[in-house]
Amino acid sequence: MTKKNQRHVQNSEPTSPIPSWLATPPATPIVPPVLTSIQELPFEKLSWENFEKLCLRLAKLESNVEHCQLYGERGQKQEGIDIYARRKAVEKYVVYQCKRVKNFGPTKIKKAVTEFLKGSWVDKTEILILCTQERLSSTDRSDMLEVQATRLRVKSVTLLPWDSYSLSEKLKGQPKIVDDFFGREWVKAFGGEEEARKLGGRLDVGQVTEFRTKFKAFYQHVFNQHDPGILVGQLIATEALPIESRYVLPDINEQRSITIQKSEGSDEAQSPEEELNEILIGDGAYERSQRQVRSPRQVIAYQQRHPLEYWLTSYPRSVILGGPGSGKSSLLRFLAVDLLQESPRLTAVAEAWGQYLPVWVPFALWTKIISESPLNDSSLGDLLRKWLKSWDEESLCPLVDRALEDERLLLLIDGLDEWTSEQAAKIGLQRLQVFIGHRNIPAVVVSRPTGFDRLGMQTAGWKLGELSDLSATQQKELSRKWFTFRAKAISVGVAFEEAEADRKVELETEAFLAELHGSPDLRELAKVPLLLCLLISHRFFNARLPQSRFKAYDSLIEHLISTHPQRRKTAAFITDSSTDLSEDEVKGVLASLAYHTQVHFGEGLDLLPN
């Protein structure tokens, strides 16, 4: 194995998750072939990362493979393997070495097997497969393969080669994989015109790369305009912290129920709480404080808390509910941007949807378009084209049109509850469900509970969950991100020891959290991401936090209306205040504006470009 890809084994068991970058599409299109009749594909033109991705895709296609993933991460010791596969009803594994190197001759073949024999996987492996970009059919290479096969047979391990010829044979019946790694012209040259024609409007590797690159940049720009987070720039001149750098993963509450079967002849009845505790004893994955007893004799309902990414990928279509400020829209924005990264942060989501094309859908704008013209120019495609044009991004329209027809489409629908016309919203929801069902594609929808209930969405085939309150650990993580960002921003150009800077951030974060948790009111506010961010912002501008929720609201409003504008004027050397409104007048104007927005712009204002 090459030095650049060595990995470290922490345990003898294969517990390391697959790195998220392996679940994303290849990012380097291959130049179309000159010849139109070929039998082998140009594996040497793939980067080593894409060669590993290709081998992983092929390994997963083996008929009896139950699970398959990369072994270890970049920089870790590999024990002589790159990929392992667990097969059904078989105790031992199939393991793979991926050698995208030139001149993989006898010496390198022997070295690869020696490296494997020195590792800890020998006794639990049944088959070792050597994957290489070159042919292994020459006499010297074939002879060395037989010698090494004999060495491995002593350990009850079978050696199999996957050279360029074998890989090409496996890809003969896989035009989609050829399309994903080499492009449409290679599908034509390798599999024939008919195979390429069957792919229809499916995006090939070049178009997928273009989609991912352009939409990542577009989403990052738009989402950070809509949601800049805490405006540290009010204190110092700095760019906003991108959503992908400041987002803290929430958890999901899922409603569960347990039916209690009473044993006959029981003299002493247990309370429902005692029965639930007895059934779930030792299970810390649910929140006892949030359970509700609906039938004291038969059914106990409770909420079970799940990590977001594992809950999200356990079903292809999900509805996530949450109250104001709970982070519903931020979640979808983060998902869209993260899935378009080269190495996504959400490993489990990348493994499930890394090959998909995430398209963010502003449902509120769709209902507005439908209410104005319910029959004409109000399809999902019309909505996205109009939205892109409003941002002067007409060049992205052909890409999104192609993506809507691709089987790898992933829809992220924001604001199902944000509409001015309930009838238009129901029409939009009906069209959305038909679109998703007809194409059988995954989707994630977010909404407030009340608006979702009013629409009466048919939830068959959908999984429902609710965003959990931020835990103490999540509150600390979010606070530390912002204190770290602020510390780095105000120390630009100043030499600091990294350890000292980290210690200072840790002290500031702990002091803030101690003050926060010292007040029962603030402790409740801190469970809501938006309110916690406002409290962090308040701390940036003030030495201490208010000690009740109403004082906190008053203080935040006071800061936004009075204190901050005055500080900005002072910083800009503006002294004339003759045209200023009084604070009461400003509050009255803002109250009137808020009422007008609520009545006339229920779909929200953040759909419009700045």
Predicted pLDDT of residue 64 = 72
In the sheet that holds 251-259, the strands lie side by side as 286-295, 299-307, 251-259, 463-467, 317-321, 443-447, 409-414, 357-362
Predicted pLDDT of residue 447 = 94
**Regions of the chain where pLDDT drops below 50:** 1-12, 75-77, 233-235, 237, 281-295, 563-565, 567-575, 605-610
Instruction: Identify the three-state secondary structure at position 301.
Output: strand
What span, in angstroms and rounded, lies between the C-alpha atoms of 160 and 149? Answer: 8
Token pair in block for residue 163: 């050279």
Q: Is 355 exposed, middle or buried (0-12, 13-18, 19+ CB in 10 A)?
A: middle
Which of 189, 176, 166, 173 has its CA nearest to residue 31?
Answer: 189
Residue 193 phi/psi, 5-degree rounding, is: -60, -40
Q: In which residue are the tokens 């507005």 written?
A: 368
At a CB cut-off of 8 Å and minimum separation 6, what does 170 contact? 58, 61, 162
Q: How far is CA 316 from the centre of its chain?
A: 14
At a CB cut-off of 8 Å and minimum separation 6, what does 507 contact? none
Instruction: Identify the three-state secondary structure at position 207.
Output: helix
Predicted pLDDT of residue 378 = 87
What span, in angstroms and rounded, lies between the C-alpha atoms of 129 and 138? Answer: 18
Predicted pLDDT of residue 298 = 65
Q: Where are the beta strands (DSSP E) in 92-188?
A: 93-99, 125-132, 158-162
Predicted pLDDT of residue 100 = 84
What span, in angstroms and rounded, lies between the C-alpha atoms of 610 and 608? Answer: 7
CATH class as words, domain 251-262+271-467? alpha beta
Predicted pLDDT of residue 577 = 52
Predicted pLDDT of residue 601 = 63
pTM: 0.77
What span, in angstroms and rounded, lies between the C-alpha atoms of 252 and 467? Answer: 5
For 336-379, what is each residue's pLDDT tens digit?
999 999 889 998 899 899 999 999 999 988 998 998 887 788 89
What are the extents of the domains in the chain? 3-200, 251-262+271-467, 472-575
**Dihedral over Cα of 135, 139, 144, 149: its sign:** positive
Do strands 299-307 and 286-295 pair parallel, antiparallel, or not at all (unpaired)? antiparallel
Span 3-200 CATH architecture? 3-Layer(aba) Sandwich (3.40)
Predicted pLDDT of residue 79 = 56
